[in-house]
Amino acid sequence: MTRPTLSDIVLTAGLAAAGVVLLLMQSGGAAAPGGVAVIKSVNDTTRVVSLSDSLVLTVDGALGETRIRVGGGCIEFLSSPCPHKICVGRGKVFRAGDYIVCVPNGVSARIEGESPFDAVVP
């Protein structure tokens, strides 16, 4: 059996550090919860809602209506007239800096607040 080289050790340490970062991001480890969400539409409408409210909003977009649920400290798209429903599949978002966008319908929702991350590198 051969001894590990310096490049083996550096590679192993880098992979371990990347794994820790991914675990923290997945579990929401250091993220602070957001307090308000800003909902924008291609029709130049902007709404600011508190995440402590419990309501369902209907937002007019380029293709039709998008239904958005706010409450329990999170926000989610319930339905949208877009063809692939990626925005609906995004699920609930709850951390500052998180967002959901329906590109075909031109509707977005972003949780305001300071994110604990400077950048996320894939």
* Number of domains observed in the structure of the chain: 2
CB atoms within 10 A of CB 118: 5
**Same domain assignment for residues 14 and 72:** no
Helix residue spans in the chain (DSSP H): 6-27, 86-89
**Same domain assignment for residues 43 and 20:** no
Q: Residue 45: give the domain boundaries.
A: 36-111
What is the greatest pairwise CA distance in the chain? Answer: 67
**Same domain assignment for residues 43 and 96:** yes
* pLDDT(11) > 70: yes
Across-strand partners of 53?
Answer: none
Q: Which residues have a Cβ under 8 Å from the Cβ of 36 and sit 6 or more positions away?
A: 48, 49, 50, 51, 111, 112, 113
* pLDDT(9) > 60: yes
**Same domain assignment for residues 24 and 40:** no
CA distance 43 to 106: 8
Residue 15 lies in a domain: yes
- Write down the mean pLDDT value for the chain: 84
Query: pLDDT of 40-86, one tens digit each?
Result: 999 889 999 999 989 999 999 999 999 999 999 999 999 999 999 99
